[in-house]
Amino acid sequence: MSAPERPPITFAFDGREMTAEAGQTIAAALLATGVRSWRTTRVEGRPRGLFCGIGICFDCLVTVNGEASRRACLTEVQPGDRVETQEGAGRADLER
């Protein structure tokens, strides 16, 4: 049986071009290239990345195409996605 087709797709992470396999989540794609954190916490500003991998811990939050707090472990990469490290809750546009 031949291996399934998993064509590469490209996306951007903090301005850098990255490659993922079609169907991979953002968390998997980033970890596959050695990136282990993509956000900082609200209070202490400490780095976080993947933890539970199944969508229940909400550690892996990242900003995708301007939308904050997407769970990277549940979000599949789409070609051309703009993924950005999220600081705290993100949504700096709301701050007053």
Partner 1 sequence: MPTSNGDVLMDTGAFDVLVIGAGPAGLAAATSAARGGASVALLDAAMRPGGQYWRHRDGDDGRGHHDWDAFKRLRGELERERAAGRIAHLVDHAVWHLERTPGADGFTAHIVHAGADREVTGRTVVIATGAYDRQLPFPGWTLPGVFTAGGVQALLKGQGVVAGRRVVVAGTGPFLLPVAVGLAEAGAEVASLVEANNPLGMATHPLAALRNLDKLAEAAGYLRALRHHLILYRTRHAVVAAHGTDAVDAVTVARLDADWRVVPGSLERIACDAVAVGYGFTPQIELADDLGCAAALDADGSLVVTVDAVQRTSVDGAFAAGETCGVGGAALAVAEGALAGLHAAAAVAGTRPDRTAVTRLERERARRRVFAAVMPRVWPVRSGWRSWLADDTLVCRCEEVPVSAVRGAVTGLGALDARGAKLFSRAGMGLCQGRVCGYATAHLAAAAAGRLATADDIASTVKRPIAWPITLGALAAGPIPDDRATPSATVPAREESTA
Partner 2 sequence: MTTTTQTADVLVIGAGIVGASVAYHAVRAGLRVAVVDRGGPAAGTSSACEGNILVSDKEPGAELELAMLSRRLWDRIADDLGSRAFEFDAKEGVVVATSEAEASALRAFAAKQRAAGIEVADVDPAGLRELEPNLSRDVAGGAHYPQDAQVQPMLATAHLLARARGLGASVHLGTTVTGFTKTSDGRVTGVATASPTLPTLSARWVVNAAGTWAGEVAALADAPIPILPRRGFLLVTEPLPKAIVHKVYTADYVANVASSDADLQTSVVVEGTPSGTVLIGASRERVGFERTFSAAVIRRLAAQVVELFPFLADVSLMRTYLGFRPYCPDHLPVIGEDPRASGLIHAAGHEGAGIGLSAATGHLIAQLAAGIPTDLDLGPFRPDRFDVVSA
Helix (H) or strand (E) holding 11: strand 8-13
Q: In this complex, which beta carbon is closest to partner 2, that of residue 17 or of residue 96?
A: 96
* Binding map of partner 2 across residues 13-52, x = CB under 8 A, - = no contact: -----------------------------x----------
Binding status of residue 56 toward partner 2 by CB under 8 A: no
Q: Which of 12, 69, 82, 85 binds partner 2 (CB under 8 A)?
A: 69
